[in-house]
Amino acid sequence: MVTTGSVLLFLTASIPLILFPGPSVAFILATTLRGGRRAGLAATAGVESGYLVHVVGAVVGISAVIAASAELFTAVKVVGAGWLLWMAWRSVRAQSEGTLADLAPAGPAALRPLIAFRRGLLVGALNPKTAMFYLAFLPQFVSPDGGPLWAQLLVFGLLFIALAAALDSCWALAGGSLRRLLPAVRLRVVDRFSAGVYTALAAVTLSVRRATSVG
């Protein structure tokens, strides 16, 4: 059983990390500007679902296997960065006309929540930096008296995701308000911003280095 002390220590260490906005926040904001709050919240759900993939990977040891294999680690990086760069290229090539005020939430050019969710899922799941983070961070709070190792890792991982989901949802809601405050912003500008976000995420993905040791 996870102890109260371990949970409090985990929260103390996790909250500052979650409060600091990172690349996923930029992705959520870009998605919200393009598709509105529903798309932003769907993207948030996708990102957190992608994080859940890494938590499960850490629990069953898949992340450790990938981290220990140079070939697998590089493959994950290349696939993730390649997809992000492809999305950046699509955003650059988009021939969007008009402004945010012209983009009807239910119109043919609207970003569907399901699409936003899928993109968020891939952003969260294809980032090896996230796998390395969970692999290194979660075991620090495991207690010998806390029960099975896998159960403690799962509890801490789910707790971290719940906290991240709450804050990222706030970013999505804030992005919706920003979208209404800036109705004259042209869609081409939003698409260029999205392209920059995807490119930055790809750069972060490619910059991740494999740990020299695992465990």
pLDDT at 75: 81
Task: Identify whether the C-beta of residue 181 lies closer than 8 Å to the C-beta of residue 86.
Answer: no
pLDDT at 49: 95
For the ranges 132-141, 166-175, 186-195, the one whose mean pLDDT is highest: 166-175
pLDDT at 118: 92
Model confidence over 26-58: pLDDT tens digits?
A: 889 888 887 888 889 999 999 999 999 989 888
Higher pLDDT, 81 or 182: 81
* 93 has pLDDT over 90: no
Higher pLDDT, 50 or 184: 50
Model confidence over 105-125: pLDDT tens digits?
A: 544 445 688 999 999 998 888
Confidence grade of residue 212 (pLDDT, cut at 50, 70, 90): very low
pTM of the full structure? 0.76
Higher pLDDT, 214 or 34: 34
pLDDT at 213: 39
Angle subtended at Cα 202 by Cα 138 and Cα 35, rounded to the nearest 5 degrees: 95
Q: What is the CA radius of gyration of the chain?
A: 18
From CA 32, how far away is CA 139, in angstroms rounded?
Answer: 34
Confidence grade of residue 214 (pLDDT, cut at 50, 70, 90): very low
Higher pLDDT, 180 or 114: 114
Higher pLDDT, 198 or 94: 198
The alpha carbon dihedral of 118, 179, 94, 199 has a sign of: negative
Q: Considering the chain, what percentage of its residues have pLDDT values greater than 70? A: 80
From CA 12, how far away is CA 9, in angstroms rounded?
Answer: 5
Amino acid, res. 103: L
How confident is the model over 180-198, as a mean pLDDT?
A: 71
* 172 has pLDDT over 80: yes
